[in-house]
Structures are given as structure tokens and as C-alpha cells.
Structure 1
């Protein structure tokens, strides 16, 4: 860890706990800051806050009192999930108090360079692939961010011999000042989190922050098949490495004659890749580009791509149940992710879908439901998904209370050779704390079938 003095004797407010808030508060305390932590959860129900109290850190729990902003804070480190329209954040910005997220702290203390991945879909798969390729290439990577340990906690332990591979959300990227990854990847851009950001433009601007501090000494790996991503590339000062599944490029990562290519070099035959789904070729190309830029040999990249079959909750193979193949795609929290999942299979599909209602109507799913023979719905969006399913001509549509009940119902409508697919097209928060919880419940229910 780099020993920095920029926070010594500074009065800093950490707003919101969870794992990132606890780690940030502890780190700032070590760096000599006067830390106050403010979390909505009452102290009696808040073991994290109690632990910080034992370290001698000031803790205020149970509410976010706006008058707290009058105490002369020089900086706020906010939990990424707290939106900028929160009264505390609005009040801080009006007073000229800088607001960052914990990722900024990680960058400031890290001895290791960062490979940072963002985008709408494919972030977790790409992050995992980059990590695995670097590990196979003996590059001593560490993994952080949404997919792993809190970034600043990883950065504390990292040395110059490591590389930190980090998945970053738009929420996190809105709160950076100097963060500058050696390699940045933007997988793709579609509508997402508009309830948080307010507009697609703000969402895209947040994603673009991943490259805002890069120079020609750093690399931006960018999707060449989307105009919005290429617009970010045109505004970036980084060295641009494009990737494409649709075009043959003069440089970068692309497909040609059944091969994945990098800078005109054949790296691996597509038919030797284990990871299913055409959409995953985007993830493979961008991660392969990051690995090549990091000095990983083709043999190590091939080793990973021949064996890697996906991450947990992202088109994850669960089991064969009496001839039915079952997949957990709980991380499909928007329609595009579900479209990609549906396109990955040729066999008849029993689709389990539904969840938090964010106001969209799911009509974009319609052309991709031709292979769905039965539909089992749950959650707030069940009626909307049922309407689209009926319009697609699906004969068997049934609503259940939750994912656990959806599994035996889906099995009841299936036959040997079918695919049973949980791909909700929605966030989980109407019924479950996270998509991980939803996926774990699904997996448990599948194993009960066996």
C-alpha cells in the first residue's frame, strides 16, 4: 500500500455502510483522517457500525440528519447505491463538499495498476475471463469491485507485482476524480439504471468516466459495433483498441474465418471455446485483448477459453435433471441479457422470468421467444411478461409466487431434451436482496428436484 498523507487530519464523512463503507472508513482512519460514519440502519441492528465504534470511529446511525453537513466536512465518501438526488448528497454538493466513491481511495493507495471493466452487459464474465487469463499467464492478478472484494481492501494488500482486475458500475464511476486504469474496457452500452441516473445520457457519461483520466500511455478497449461506445473512444486520450464480432478490423480483436484474432494474429479457433452463447464472443474478444496487452501468451489464453464455462448466475449450467439441462441466468436483470440467453440455445426452452418493475414493457423480447415452449412468471412484472409471451404464441403460461415455486412448475411442463432457463429480464429487489440470492434459491430448488 502506498503511504499517502493527503487524508491526514481531514474531516471526512462516510455515508452508507455495507462492505465498501466499512472498508473505506477503516482505511481513512488508518490514514489519519477524522472519520464520521452515517448509516440509516439503527445501531442496535448494525454490527458493522458497532465494529467501527470499537475502533474509535464516530458513528451516527438510524437516519441521515441533514444538519450533519454543517460540521465542516472536507470530503464525503458515499456508498455507490446512494443516488445523487439524495438530500445529503445534494446538500453536500451545494456546499461545495467533494463527493467520491471508495474506488477513488483504492486507486490512490494502490501500488498495483488497474484493469477496469464496465458496460451494461458482460462485465462480470469479462472481468472473470481477464482475471483467469492473467492468472494462467502468471501475472499475479487480484480481483476486486462488484465481483470480488472491496477495491480499497484489495489495494491495501496489492504490490507492484500484482495487477488489480476490477468490475465497475456506473454508480461507482460517477464518484472518481483521479482514478486512471492502465487498461479500461467498455463492453457495450444499453438502457440500464435510468431510475438512478435520470437519463441515458447521464448513464453513458458515467460509464465514460472510466477513461476520463487516461492518456496515450493507457489503453481503452472499446466495442467497435456501437456508435455510443465509439463516441467515447473519439473523446478519449487513451490508445484505442477496438473489438468487434461483426467487422474485420485492421487492428484490435475480431473474428475471421472461424478464429478469434488480435492485431491480425490467429489466437484460437472459435469452435474450441467452451463458453456458450454468441454474445459471449464480445466478452471473449475484449478480455483476450486485455490479456494480450498485459503480455499473456496465446497458450494461456487458449487454456482458459477451453475450460471456462461461465460465472455463477450468468448463464451458469446447474444440472441435468432427467434429460433436462438447467441454467441459472439470474444476473440477467434487463431484457438484453435475457435476449442473449435465449439466443444461446437451439433446444426448446422453458423460461422463468419476472421481477422488479422499472416501467418497461418487454416488447423487445418478442422476436426472441420463438423457441420458448412454456413460460413461468413471478414478481411485479409477471403480467407484462405474460402479455408479451401470449403475443409470441406461447401456449403454456403460468404465474407462481416466487422462483422457488417456479422450478417444479417449469419441470412439470418440460420434456427430456428441453432447456429450463432462469433468465428474469428484471432486477430482483421486489422479492430478493440481490440477483445472487435469487440465483442461489433457484439452484437449491433445482437440486431438490434431483
Structure 2
């Protein structure tokens, strides 16, 4: 339902800029709201704040003054997803019973377009991209949004009723939704992640569950039958349930049988014809097929994408081959499960480049996947933990460096022809980088400098 008029004459605090806050502020203003913007970055260094102030917005930068709540009667706070709920402004809003949203809720309220919401601990970006490409290949009206591409509320503002908005959703974004409803909702998998933000596994799961919880009987929940947590969370959906599995035979959904991918017991494509590398990507492919079949996409369009789509940047991305060494950029691997799946994708000897933000977890979950790892080159806050892991596994070549650029050079020095040099950090990037994209870009640049 379209509720744009709800925002007229409301006073709304946008907390945190970046892309989502900037887009939300502009759209709220266009829909008649009185918008106040607060961002911690100093004004002189804050291009987004400067642009908003030039456009006539009230902008407060450099700190988070609680006094804003005394000088304004806020009807709503929209926060950047990355801002924790411990933030003083968020806490003050909670005390005053002011609703707190992320811009995904705003996106939902600004359009009558249909949403496909994709979340999970791993595989979101690849699955989101696959769904979007399959819809396009079948000439459906589709837009891509959320954690990938354009901010969701900006996409929603220009979407038509018959559009599919294919939306990658993080737990941070979903935690700030109240009425958001995914016409097709997917949870790919759930493992321990972002517990520094959510504090408990239960809180993290509840955030993910938002992709199912407001669904109606005409909606569809796409469910990983191999993940007990996902199956349990899907109980919140009132929609049709469609399953995918790598290990089970599925009648209502997608599975693999005799090296062929099936949907609803009908063959779609032989596994050998799928271009996208890595066994873990089969899970993403099955989920994507389940989703697009709900939107009426043909088998021909699905095959067209699966025989041409080779992957997304920073997700087990092939970068180059140099003197017999192949370099792969998996910077998006910010947890143990993602790195485990990357390691399982290779049978050749691997030189693993890993390390990053220390969230307090140990690395034992990697041990059974390290059989092909001959060398570890490590960096960042968790470097000591990776050194310890290597010693426990009897890996003789372990090198600690300062950054990813040095890691590429050291990995090459320690490598031989036919080795895989794999950046798959198993950690978030924020100890040394603004984002995993920045980390991956440094890796790519360093590889090309070698050449």
C-alpha cells in the first residue's frame, strides 16, 4: 500500500548519513516531512551534510546532542543500519517512545511495487544478483536494491506497481522494520555473525526473521531445508512455503538429483553447465530458482543466466593468473562459514590470506576445511589467532604482515605454479578498511601490480 501522505508535516530525525541516510532525508523532504539530520562526522569533512544544508536542511554534525529531542518533537527516527542501538540518540528515542526505523521500512511505505527480500549470513549478494539477472532475462520488470546497488528507498520512490524490487537485506536493516513485507522472502542460512552488534544469537535470528514475519497467505517463504534455524524461523510466515536443499530430494522446490538441478521435480539444467564456481554457490542457485519461479520466470531464462553468470565482485571472484598462480578475491567472506565454503571450492594447494576485525570468536570452525591450505598469510587484529591456528594444524609456512598489499606480495613469494592464492579473510574489514569492498579492491590492485 502506498502511504506517502503519512510523512506530510511529520518531524523526522535522520541519524547517520552515508548513502542510505542521504537518500532517506531527501525522500522524506520530498514527501512533505520536516527533516533534521544528525551525523557524527565533522561538517567540513562531510560532503553529504554539506549538500543537504545547501538544500535547506537542518544539519547537525560532529556529535550527537540529546538536546535535539527537547527542541524538536520528533515523530520518527530513521537511523543508518550500522549505528548500534546503544547510541545515545537511539537510546533517547527509545526512552521517549519514538519509533525507530531503517530506510527499508521507508522504502516499503513509498511504493506499491513487489519486494523480493533476500537475507542470510552468507550468499546474499550472489543470490540477489542471480534473481535480478533471471528476472531481466525473462523480460520481467525488476530493480535491484538494498545492501547491493542503489539504496532501497531511492529505488522504491521510482518503482512502478508491477516492478519486482530485488532487495539484499542485512540483519542491521531488518532490525529497523515494523511493517515491511516481502512478497517473496528468503533466508539462505543462519550462523553466528554480527554478535558484537546484536549481542545474542536470539536477537540476530529475530532480525533475520523479519523477512518472513509479515507475510500474508499470497506471499512465499523460500526456505533452506538443510538449515534447522531457517526452518524454525520460517514458522513465522503465513505464506506458501517453498524449499531448497543440497542434500534432500524436494518435491515442492529445488534440489539436485543425478547431477541435474530440479524444480518441482522438473529438470532445469545439468550441474556441469553451470558456470558459477564453488559448491557453496549451488545453494544460492537453488534459492534463486525457487524465487524466480514464483515470479513466473521460464526455464530458458534461468538456463541463460546460469550458463553465463560467473560471479559477483569480492565473492570468490577470479582476478588473474600470473606465472601459474591463480588469484581469487573473496573479501566478502567476513565470517568462518563463508571462508569454509571458499576453501572447499578448491582441490589445488591454497595460500590463504586472512585476518581482520576481532569479534572475540575463535577459529576452530575452519580446521576441517583447511586440508588444502599449505600457507597462511595473515594481517589485522586477528593475525595472532590465525598464526595459532596454523601452528595447531602443522602448517609450516605462516607469515604475518601489516596489510593486504603486503600479503599479496608475500603470498606470491611463498607460492609455486598451480597454487591458488585466496583472499578469504573470515573477518570483517573495519579494523583497517571502510568496507570489505575497499579490502578487495586493494587485493585486486596488488595482484595487478605484481603482473
Which category describes the TM-score, using the shorter chain as reference length? over 0.9
User: Are the counterparts in 1 of residues 3 and 109 from structure 2 also a CA contact under 8 Å?
Assistant: no
Quote the residue 1:18 is aligned against. Answer: 18
User: What pairs with 1:32-431 in structure 2 (closer than 5 Å)?
Assistant: 32-70=32-70, 71-431=72-432
Work out the CA distance in 2 between the residues paired with 1:430 and 1:61.
24
Runs (4+) of structure 1 exceeding 3 A deviation are none
Shift of 1:21: 0.6
Quote the residue 1:7 is aligned against. Answer: 7
SS of the residue 2:4 aligns to = coil
Query: CA deviation digits over 1:289-333, x for unaligned, max 9?
Result: 111111111111011111111100000000111111110000001
Unpaired segments ≥5 residues, structure 1: none
Work out the CA distance in 1 between the residues paired with 2:217 and 2:169.
22
Work out the CA distance in 1 between the residues paired with 2:300 and 2:157.
32
Shift of 1:162: 2.1
Shift of 1:363: 1.1
Shift of 1:250: 2.2
| Range 407-416 or range 1-10, more displaced | 1-10
Work out the CA distance in 1 between the residues paired with 2:373 and 2:162.
49
Work out the CA distance in 1 between the residues paired with 2:239 and 2:391.
48
Shift of 1:140: 2.5
User: Are the counterparts in 2 of residues 366 and 389 from structure 1 also a CA contact under 8 Å?
Assistant: no
Shift of 1:346: 0.3
TM-score (norm. length: structure 1)? 0.98
TM-score (norm. length: structure 2)? 0.98
Shift of 1:220: 0.8
User: Are the counterparts in 2 of residues 369 and 389 from structure 1 also a CA contact under 8 Å?
Assistant: no
Shift of 1:235: 2.6
Work out the CA distance in 2 between the residues paired with 1:275 and 1:47.
39
Work out the CA distance in 2 between the residues paired with 1:3 and 1:382.
50
SS of the residue 1:307 aligns to = coil
User: Are the counterparts in 1 of residues 212 and 236 from structure 2 also a CA contact under 8 Å?
Assistant: no
Shift of 1:2: 5.2
Shift of 1:3: 7.0
Work out the CA distance in 1 between the residues paired with 2:5 and 2:111.
14
User: Are the counterparts in 2 of residues 14 and 77 from structure 1 also a CA contact under 8 Å?
Assistant: yes
Shift of 1:129: 0.5
Unpaired segments ≥5 residues, structure 2: none
Work out the CA distance in 1 between the residues paired with 2:200 and 2:327.
36
| Residue correspondences, number | 450
SS of the residue 1:66 aligns to = coil
User: Are the counterparts in 2 of residues 216 and 239 from structure 1 also a CA contact under 8 Å?
Assistant: yes
Work out the CA distance in 2 between the residues paired with 1:323 and 1:386.
27
User: Are the counterparts in 1 of residues 193 and 335 from structure 2 also a CA contact under 8 Å?
Assistant: yes
SS of the residue 1:237 aligns to = coil
User: Are the counterparts in 2 of residues 211 and 220 from structure 1 also a CA contact under 8 Å?
Assistant: yes
Shift of 1:384: 0.4
SS of the residue 2:214 aligns to = coil
Work out the CA distance in 2 between the residues paired with 1:198 and 1:220.
27
SS of the residue 2:217 aligns to = coil
Work out the CA distance in 1 between the residues paired with 2:157 and 2:398.
51
Work out the CA distance in 2 between the residues paired with 1:415 and 1:161.
54
Shift of 1:171: 0.6
